[in-house]
Structure 1
Amino acid sequence: MANNTSGTNASCAYNFKVVLLGEGCVGKTSLVLRYVEDKFNDKHITTLQASFLNKKINIAGKRVNLCIWDTAGQERFHALGPIFYRMSNGAVLVYDITDEDSFQKVKNWVKELKKMLGNEVCLAIAGNKIDLEKERTVAIEDAEAYAVSVGAKHFLTSAKQNRGIEELFLELTRRMMERAREADQKASSLKRSGSARRNIVVVDDEVPAAGPRAGCCAGQAS
């Protein structure tokens, strides 16, 4: 996978790109606005193409900058998806718990993400609008089982009630940090092994025979 993170610098700062994906009207924009600005608007906000917000947090003494891309869910914008989610470190796939179709569409987004980014991208699935629990059509058990099957974490969220959102982004960020450390360790290991290989002298053990005497010695050497 391409180098998705800028890694860490001397001040232990991480920079991660996170993309929000899901159908229109599932609450992606409301979710990210609640997380970044602690705001909620009852009126539906339509995202055209994509917009992004930054959120700076501190985890275990390490500074993290999240660049969160909020993408449009309307069908006519789907073709633009790859432009916005390439080079992402993490993805939040949002569905509306009262809309079964929006949950099924999440599966298509996951397939696209894995096709483009492989298994390196960290995934979180958000069952949004749990303030409408009485209207639920997506079983929690089904959503959680699916999340496990694709290596994702499942969260229940409500932008209106500010529930589950902080936990979602905190867990996703921790996983991205762990993935970045693993990538750094792997790169360092490869670098060290590369240096070691450069110090190895390759000896050709197929010494040409210089006559009967050499052949005899070769036979006794074993």
Structure 2
Amino acid sequence: MASVSALDKYKLVFLGEQCIGKTSIISRFVHGIFDDTYRVTIGIDLLSKIINVEDQTVSLKLWDTAGYERFSISMPGCIRDSSVAVIVYDVTSRQSFLSTTKWIEYARTEIGSDAIIFLVGNKADLVDKR
């Protein structure tokens, strides 16, 4: 990422299969709480957070996408101008990890080959289910 200047804005899109905890990660980051009740994301949700990075103010727009195929038609429009793609998988689900290849490819196609992509393993606290 380029050097951060005052009031820079970055759009982060969270991608991955359904029920892997994308919403929980975003909620924890934005609100500082973990809610263990399950809530299905329908389409796309948007949350914002302003943070300080090296004495600069940065505005983050966090796009929470549904992992269900039936909502995938609305994704390309929201992904294309993203700064970062966060690909999330559930460490207790081998299938969700294997699907990350598809999501990484999707992010590269929609954002561009120079996309900044993070791969995040979620639910690491569920050691007994690994």
TM-score of the superposed pair, with normalisation by structure 1? 0.55
Picking from 113, 117, 129, the partner of 1:119 is 113
Picking from 39, 46, 51, the partner of 1:45 is 39
Q: Name the residue aligned to 1:60.
A: 54
Amino acid at match of 1:132: L
Q: Name the residue aligned to 1:75.
A: 69
Q: Name the residue aligned to 2:92.
A: 98
Taking every aligned residue pair, what percent have the same amino acid on both sides?
37
Q: Name the residue aligned to 1:17.
A: 11
Rounded to whole Å, the distance in 2 between the matches of 1:101 and 1:19 is: 21
Contact 2:4 2:53 in 1 (8 A): no
Contact 2:90 2:96 in 1 (8 A): yes
**Distance of aligned partners of 1:132 and 1:14 in 2 relative to their CA distance in 1, 3 Å threshold:** same
Picking from 17, 21, 28, the partner of 2:22 is 28
Query: Is there any run of 5+ residues in structure 2 with no aligned partner, and where?
Result: none
- 2:89 partner SS: strand
Query: Is there any run of 5+ residues in structure 1 with no aligned partner, and where?
Result: 137-222
Give the CA RMSD over aligned residues. 1.8
The number of residues matched between the two structures is 129
Hey, which of these two has a bigger chunk of strand by percent? Answer: 2
Q: Which has the higher contact order (CA 8 A, sep 6+)?
A: 2
Amino acid at match of 1:130: A
Rounded to whole Å, the distance in 1 between the matches of 2:120 and 2:4 is: 28
Amino acid at match of 1:86: R
TM-score of the superposed pair, with normalisation by structure 2? 0.91
**Distance of aligned partners of 1:54 and 1:134 in 2 relative to their CA distance in 1, 3 Å threshold:** same
Residues 90-135 of structure 1: CA deviation (Å, up to 9, x unaligned): 0111100011111111111110111222233211111000011232
Amino acid at match of 1:58: N
Contact 1:50 1:69 in 2 (8 A): yes
Rounded to whole Å, the distance in 1 between the matches of 2:102 and 2:74 is: 15
Hey, which of these two has a bigger chunk of helix by percent? Answer: 1
1:1-222 aligned within 5 A: 12-136=6-130
For the pair shown, which has the larger CA radius of gyration, 1 or 2?
A: 1
- 1:25 partner SS: coil
- Spell out structure 1 runs of 4+ moving beyond 6 A: none
Rounded to whole Å, the distance in 2 between the matches of 1:53 and 1:94 is: 17
Deviation at 1:79, TM superposition (A): 2.6
